[in-house]
Amino acid sequence: TKKMGVLKEIDGILAHHSCLLFSSGLCQAGKNEEGLWGFLTPNIKKELSRGKRLKCSFCRLPGALVGCHKARCSYTYHLTCGFSNGCLMQYYDNFRSFCGTHRPRQNFLEEMLGRTVECAICGD
């Protein structure tokens, strides 16, 4: 979808940058100008093959390459399904994803405001 950002193509593979970053079994093995943002074709193909065996915990379709970072959590999902179902994506460091059950909470604000808080800046 357009909300996932720019699509790039290499060797017949189209992918969003975010989708590559959050694919659990994929590492950026090249320099930024190599492959798709540093993700190399053989590694992308291997990850796509792995994804054929993984069904999304939300839509039940195959290709769920994003997984909850919490140890022993079996939730796997498409990035878009994760966004639609309360998962948290951390856009820094190792680009971790957490399902709705295991997503980190901002307890200090929740205690102060007496309600669930997602954003530390606006308190919403």
The two structure tokens encoding residue 55: 């069904």
Q: What is the pLDDT of residues 28-65, one digit of tens each?
A: 999 999 999 999 999 999 999 999 999 999 999 999 99
Say which residue, 5 or 73, is predicted with more confidence.
73
What is the β-pairing status of strands 88-89 and 66-67?
A: unpaired
pTM of the predicted protein model: 0.79
Task: Report the amino acid identity of residue 92.
Answer: Y
CB 36 within 8 A of CB 13: yes
Contacts of 4 (CB under 8 A, 6+ apart): 16, 18, 19, 79, 80
CA distances from 117 to 17, 52, 70, 97 (A): 28, 36, 20, 18
